[in-house]
Amino acid sequence: MATFRQRALDEASMHETGRFFVEEGPVSKYFGQNVLDLDKMRGYMSQQAYEAVLASVKFGAKLDRGVSNEIASGMKAWAMEMGATHYTHLFHPLTDSTAEKHEAFISFKDGKAFEKFNGSALVQQEPDASSFPNGGLRNTFEARGYSAWDPSSPVFVMDGTLCIPSVFVSYTGEALDTKVPNLKSMHALSEAASSVAALFDENVKSVKVNLGIEQEYFLVDESLYNARPDLVLTGRTVIGHTSAKDQQLEDHYFGAIPSRVRAFMKDFETEAYKLGILLQTRHNEVAPNQFECAPVFCEATKAIDQNMMLMIIMQKVAEKHRLKVIFHEKPFDGVNGSGKHCNWSLTTDTGVNLLSPGKTPTKNLQFLSFYASVLRAVHKHHYLLMTSVASLSNSYRLGGNEAPPAVMSVFSGSTLYSVFQAIMNMKDIKESVASSQESIKIVNSIPEIFPDNTDRNRTSPFAFTGNRFEFRAVGSSQNVASAVYVLNSIVAESLNEFKAYVDALELAGEVRSSAVMAVVRRFITESRDIMFEGNGYSKEWEVESGARGLKAVKNVTEAYEVYHEPQTVELFDRLGVLAPNEVEARFEILNETYVKKLQIEARILGDMCLNHVIPAAVKYQNILIENVKGMKDIFGDSFMEYCASEVETLKKISLYINGVSADVESLVEARKKANRIEDIAERAKVYSHEVKDMMEKVRLSADNLEMLIDDEMWPLPKYRELLFF
C-alpha cells in the first residue's frame, strides 16, 4: 500500500499550469474596477453627500450622520451593479488577520422582498467583542463591541460582498484592533511633524505617512501541503531534515520564475489590480519556492488594508492553482525565512518628502531635522520598536540568513554617515559625495550607472535607502500596523521634543537656522550608538551592540515586558495612541498568543512523532531485524562480517526511537507544568524556555531517523519535495 506521501507526490505530479483570471487589454483598463473611489462616488450621491465623504477622506473631518443614509444608498446601488448581495465591515482584530461578518441587503415587508442598506448599518456593526482577543478588556458575558466605517480607506466588492474597511472597539471604547491605535498614531505624528515642517514652510498644515510593503511568501503544492499535518496546523514544518540542495548555489534568487508560479502570480495580480492594489514588482526570493511581490507606495492606512487583502487574494487564487501560500516567517529550517519589509516615509500636504535629502543633504536643514528626530526616536525606544515585531514565528527567522538581527541599528550609508560625523565633531561639512561622484563606466555599449547616495545593507533592521527608511524586521505573516503605530508614536514624541528645544533656543535669542542646527547636532550626538554601518550578522557586532547598551530581543516573552515599562505606557498615553489599560491588554494578548501557538506546535510535534515517525521507524527496524536473522541463519557465527552496517543502523534507529518516545513524554510533562501556571506572562516564559527547548530535542532525533529509514517508508513529504516543484 502506498504511503500518504507517495499518493501526495503522485497527485502533485498531475497538477497542471493554467490561468483562471484573465482580463482583456492593459491593466489600466480594469484597474480599480471593484473599488468605489471618490470619482465613482460622484455618480451615486448628491454633491452635499459627496463633499461630506471627501472632507472625511482628505481632511479627516468627522462624517455627519445626517448624510449617511444617502451615502449608504449610493454604495448599495453601486455594489449591486457589481453583483454584490451582502455587505460586511472588514476589520483587523488582534490576531494578525482580518475579520468579517456578512449581512444580506435583502429585507422583507408585507411579504415582499427588497434590498435595504441604511446609514446606521454603514456607520457601525456589532461583532462579538468577547470572542476576539481582548486582553481582559471584555468578559465572556460582556459580548458587545462595535466596528465602525473608516472612510480613509475605500470600500470595495469582493466575492459578491461589499467590504467596508472599519475599526473595532469595545462597548466602552477601548481599541480591540490594530487600526485604531495606528490612526491615532498617524494623527499624533502629523501634528508633531507639521509643527517642525512649519519651521521651514509655514504653508504646511499636515503630514501623512506613506508605506510601501514588500511581501515575501513560500509556495507549496497543495497535495504535499495536505500531507504535512504541521504545515496545515502551524504554517511551518516542526520536523524535517534539510535538503541536500537548498539555497547554497544562490541560483533561485531573481531566477526565471517557474511557469506554474508565473501563472499564479499573473492571476493574483489581476485580482489585486481590480481592487486598486498597484502591484509593481514580482521575483524569486533567495530560498527555493520563495517569492516576493511589492506594490507602489501609498498612504499608510490604505497600504496596510491593501496588504491584508492581498494576503487573502493570494490564498484564494492559490486554491485554483492547487497551491498553498505560506506566510509563516520560517516554514522550513535551514533556509531563509520571509519578512514584510516596510518602506516608511513622511510627506507634507504641500507634496514634499521630508526624508528626501536632495542632491546636497548638507544644505537641506529640513531633511537633517527629520532624520535626526527619527534617529533619536529609534535609539531611545530601540527595544520597544524591535519588540513590536517579536512573535513566536518571527523569532525563528530573526538573526538567520538574510533576516536582520534581533538587535536594532540604523544604517545611513557612507555619505550621510560622514555628514553626521562632521556635525557631531562640529567640523565644516563638505558637499555630498554623490554630487561629485563619478558615474560607473563599464563598456561603451552599456549606459552609465549613477550610484545612489546610499548603498543597501540587508543586515540592518532599519536602513535608510535614499528617501525613506526600510524596516526589514517585520514578519511576513504580521499585520504591519502593529509595528507602524509604534514607529509613528516614537517619532512623534521625538519631533515634539525637537520643536520644544528649537523654540527654547529661539526664545533665548538664537537665530532659527542656528537653533535648528544645534538641536540636530544634539539629537545625532545622543543617538550615535544606534548608527552602525557594518555587518549586522557578525559576532563582533553582537558584542559591540551590547557594549553600546543596545538590547537584543533574545527571548520574545521577556521582551514583552517592555510594555510594562513606565516610559512605554506614558508614551502611548501622552500621545493619545493607547490608554494604560489598552497597553496592558496588548501585553496579555501577546503572551496568550505566544502560549497558544507554541502549544499547538508542541502538540502536533508529539502527534507526528507518535503517529508517523515512530511507526515508520519500527517498520523499517523490523525489516532490518529479519535481514540480520536471515544472515545469521546462512552464515552462522560469522554473520557479523556480512551485516555489521545493518546492525549498526539498527542500534541507531533503536536509540533514536527510544529518544523520541522519551522526549515526547518529557515534552507533554513540560506543557502540563507550564499550563498549571496561572499568570499568563510567567506561563509564556516557561513555554519559551522549557517547552521550546524540549521541542528542539525531539526534532533532532526525528530528523536523524528520517536520514536512516528507507525512503519509500517515510510517510511525510521531505524538504526536497516541498521546496522544489
Packing angle of the helix pair 566-575, 179-197 (nearest 10 deg): 80
**Is the predicted pLDDT of residue 264 greater than 60, yes or no?**
yes
pLDDT > 60? residue 263: yes
Rounded Cα distance, 96 and 91, in Å: 11
User: Identity (one letter) of the amino acid at 351?
Assistant: G
Single-letter residue type at 538: S
Q: How far apart are CA 468 and CA 165, in angstroms?
A: 27
How many residues does this entry show for the chain?
725
**Which residues are CB-neighbours of 252 under 8 A, at least 6 positions away?**
284, 285, 286, 287, 288, 290
pLDDT value of residue 558: 97
Cβ-based neighbours of 439, under 8 Å, separated by 6 or more: 448, 449, 450, 451
Return the bridge partners of 35, or none.
156
Average pLDDT over residues 477-497: 98
Residue 60 confidence (pLDDT): 77
Is the model's pLDDT at 215 over the cut of 80? Answer: yes
State which amino acid sits at residue 132.
Answer: F
Q: What percent of the chain has pLDDT over 90?
A: 80
- Residue 333's pLDDT band (cuts 50, 70, 90): very high
DSSP structural state of residue 65: G
Domains plus CATH for the chain? Answer: 1-25+215-338 (3.30.590.10), 31-177 (3.10.20.70), 178-208+344-437+451-578 (no CATH), 593-722 (1.20.120.1560)
Give me 671's grid cell: 506543557
Apex CA 437: angle with CA 434 and CA 439, to 5°? 115
327, 338 Cβ separation under 8 angstroms: yes
What does pLDDT average to over the chain?
92
Stretch 358-372: mean pLDDT, rounded? 84
Q: Has residue 1 got a pLDDT over 50?
A: no
Q: How far apart are CA 631 and CA 85, in angstroms?
A: 73
Q: Which of 338-347, 406-415, 442-451 has the highest mean pLDDT?
A: 338-347
Q: How far is CA 467 from the centre of its chain?
A: 22
Q: Please answer whether residues 183 and 167 qualify as being in contact, where contact means their C-beta atoms are separated by less than 8 angstroms.
A: yes
Span between the terminal Cα atoms of the chain, in Å: 25
Task: Look up residue 704 and give its amino acid.
Answer: N
pLDDT interval class at 432 (50, 70, 90): very low
- Among 476, 5, 475, which residue's Cα sits nearest to residue 225? 5
Least confident of 102-106, 110-114, 156-160, 691-695: 110-114
Q: Please check the confidence at residue 75 and state whether its pLDDT lies above 50.
A: yes
Averaged over 100-118, what is the pLDDT?
91
Tell me: the pLDDT tens digits for 382-428?
999 999 999 999 999 987 655 678 899 999 988 888 888 888 887 65
For position 358, what pLDDT does the model report? Answer: 76
pLDDT value of position 362: 62
pLDDT at res. 73: 94
Binned at pLDDT 50, 70 and 90, residue 433 comes out as very low
Cβ count near 388 (within 10 Å):
24
Structure confidence by residue, pLDDT tens digits, 156-208: 999 999 999 999 999 889 999 999 999 999 999 999 999 999 999 999 999 99
315, 362, 453, 373: which is closest to 189 by C-alpha?
373
DSSP 8-class letter at 440? B
Per-residue pLDDT averaged across 303-316, rounded? 97
Separation CA 69–CA 614 (nearest Å)? 64
Residue 474 reports pLDDT greater than 70: yes
